[in-house]
Chains A and B, each alone.
Chain A
Amino acid sequence: VENTPARQLSSFRLAMGLLTPHAMSSSQFIQSAFSPAPLQTASIQQLWSLTLWGSVVIFSVVVAFVFAAVERNMHRPSNEARSSTSEKVVTRSGSATIAVTFVMLVSLLSATVACRSREQILSEQEKALTSLRATTVAVCEAWLSGAVSSTFARTALQVTQDLLQKHHVTLTASSPDALADPAARSVSESENQLAQTLALLWKGINEGDSLGVRRQLSTVASDQSRFR
């Protein structure tokens, strides 16, 4: 039987399908200019997860055996418990193996969690922006109803402004061409707009201008309902 590239791909898909049945559902992966190989990358990700969790299981089993050995050693008479040279070598080798496995697992997991896609970063930014808008509305509404003092309202808006600044830096610093993406640019513009509104709200609260605060608040609230 001729081993053509098409057949190789078919075998690879079959193998991946056996390991991860959901990965083969073609409806989940749409090919586009931004994602030219969705099926293959998904398969690699599944294989990666399989390796990672396989290693976690092996590590757990090793820890369980070490625990059992320690427990057995505890019940031995003290003269037997003194370890011979060979036992010391085994202990050291065992400890070294556990340490190496531990480092490998931490590295694998770090790599897994750290590799976030641009979409994920953008989604987190949108969520954070929604949260900061909601905080702004809640603080100002509480101030208008007399539930919180001007001091607290000003401090809370200042902290919101600081958090917004941090998120904005994260977005723009994620990659040099971050703002080339229209969705990222839209989030960045919304962040700038909220920053300006926060400054006006802070000024309004400082001057006790409840009408001005209400006016600004309606802008934030309409943005919030539009983006939610």
Chain B
Amino acid sequence: VKKIFNLTLGVVTSIGGFIEVGSISTSAQAGAEFGFALLWAIAVAALILAVLAEMAGRVAILSNRSIAAAVRERFGIHLQMIPLGAELIIDLLLLAAELGGAAIAVKLLTGVGFQWWILPVGMVVWLVLWMGSFTIIEDGVGLLGIITLAFVVSVWHLHPDVRTVASGFVPSVPDHDVTRYAFLAVSIVGATISPYLLNFYASGSIEEELTESDLWINRLTAFLGMGFGSIVAMGVLVTAAIVLGPRHIQVDSYEQAALMFVPVFGSWAVTLFALALGVGCLGAAIEITLNAGYLLAQSFGWPWGVEKKRRDVSRFVAAFSLVLLLSMGIAVSGFDPLRMTLISVALTVVIMPGIVLPFLVLMNEEEYVKRHTSGAIGNGLLAALTIVGAIMAIIVVPLEIFGG
């Protein structure tokens, strides 16, 4: 029964993927501008993320190595430096954006400029990581994440036409603003499949001490967890499509996005939206900070783990503290969190083939996954993802610059 509670690892990971500053804004923009037409992008992103998370968990459980450690061991430190550098830059930018997102949530409630809240939010993140164990972090964020179900409740109250909603799962080319449509589709996928999620998920499986007999839990955690996140993200899109779309409100700020709750929750609308945004961003910020520590420690062979005494993993603690401090500096300097998310989404998509290719190798070597190597379907999916990732990498930069 205890191991069933490990499902919260999937929920926490999915909060980082689907319910954070970038994903909420892109889903709301997609819904407000194109109705239900981009639901398929969330579904595709959820499927890809679940497959990759399951594989990352499988490698971690069977080899007791996280993705960063396995890639370093298999390909050497020289090749590892490329994804390490790219992932660290993305982590820095994303963390700054998430801190900004959590600060914007406080601003929605208080009216005080968001830059003033970045230092307190950063301190909260650091204190949680300094004082909490992995289980406390996981269960705490997982439980708080339930507030994000407000997006699903709002869909329930708005009674959308099921057939019209279902039609959004079939990709179609819109009759207007094709560039914007493509930009939002790529942004949804890029904002969801962040590389840090995979390493965080794999490291979490090691912290949870899962064994070969728990592989089914890993599979369940990956698919149910990402299912939770994707349903909430779809809730954001559908609510925005029903409430904001007909009024011709495009989402260029979180104040506009908060209006989507007004018809359903009345005077609780802004509070609920701010709480959902705040919890999502705080959860994602904790996840990214922790992952930066994991990544550096695993790449350079330092001891790591939130379950261990802090003095035994001093370099790991110093690494995540430094990354958090740098991100707080970037966020305080006045960068727009939405703009930072766009840059990190573009970078994520550009390095996606570089993240997926090592997976393809690791998932076929018995040294890492024993007899649980990938079959034709798994390899085919990864190969397709590599090619699609390469194409997306080409189109993402111009789309991000001009389509956004």
Q: Which residues of A contact B (CB under 8 A)?
A: 56, 59-60, 63-64, 67, 70-71, 74, 102, 105-106, 109-110, 112-114, 116, 127-128, 130-131, 134-135, 137-139, 142, 146-149, 151-152, 154-156, 159-160, 163, 228
Contacts and interface: CB of A to CB of B under 8 A. Distances in A.
Nearest to B403: A113
B267 A147 contact: yes
Given A110-B398, A155-B108, 14 more contacts: A63-B386, A63-B387, A70-B357, A71-B360, A74-B361, A114-B401, A131-B249, A134-B248, A138-B249, A142-B269, A147-B266, A147-B267, A148-B267, A156-B259
Interface stretch (B152-160, B250-258, B297-305, B370-378): B250-258
Given A56-B394, A74-B361, A148-B270, A64 B247 contact: no
A113 B399 contact: yes
B252 A131 contact: yes
B253 A163 contact: yes
Contacts of A142: 259, 262, 269
B262 A159 contact: no
B270 A149 contact: yes
Contacts of B248: 127, 130-131, 134, 228
A205 to B, nearest CB: 12
B107 A155 contact: yes
Given A110-B402, A113-B179, A113-B403, A134 B394 contact: no
27 contacts: A59-B391, A59-B394, A60-B391, A64-B387, A67-B386, A70-B357, A106-B398, A109-B395, A109-B398, A110-B397, A110-B402, A112-B398, A113-B399, A113-B403, A114-B398, A128-B250, A131-B250, A131-B252, A134-B248, A138-B249, A142-B269, A148-B267, A148-B270, A151-B110, A152-B111, A160-B255, A163-B253
Given A110-B397, A131-B252, A152 B108 contact: yes
Contacts of A134: 247-249
Contacts of A149: 270
B394 A67 contact: no
A154 B113 CA distance: 12
B133 interface: no
Contacts of A154: 111
B86 interface: no
B115 interface: no
Closest 3 CB pairs of A and B: A151-B111, A156-B255, A113-B402
B383 interface: yes
Interface of B: 107-108, 110-111, 179, 247-250, 252-253, 255-256, 258-259, 262, 266-267, 269-270, 357, 360-361, 364, 383, 386-387, 390-391, 393-395, 397-399, 401-403
Contact of A113 (B247, B255, B266, B398): B398
B390 A74 contact: no
A189 to B, nearest CB: 20
Nearest to A70: B357
A158 B371 CA distance: 60
B262 A147 contact: yes
Nearest to B389: A63
A148 B109 CA distance: 10
A149 B390 CA distance: 47
A81 to B, nearest CB: 12
Given A64-B387, A112-B398, A113-B398, A152 B255 contact: yes
Contacts of B390: 59-60, 63
B162 to A, nearest CB: 27
Contacts of B179: 113
A59 B390 CA distance: 9
A102 B255 contact: no
Contact of B269 (A114, A131, A148, A155): A148
A101 B250 CA distance: 36
Contacts of B397: 106, 109-110
A159 B255 contact: yes
A35 B364 CA distance: 59
Contacts of A102: 393-394
A155 B255 contact: yes
A165 to B, nearest CB: 12
A135 B402 contact: no
A116 B387 CA distance: 29
Contacts of B398: 106, 109-110, 112-114
A109 B394 contact: yes
Nearest to B268: A147
Contacts of B394: 56, 59, 102, 105-106, 109
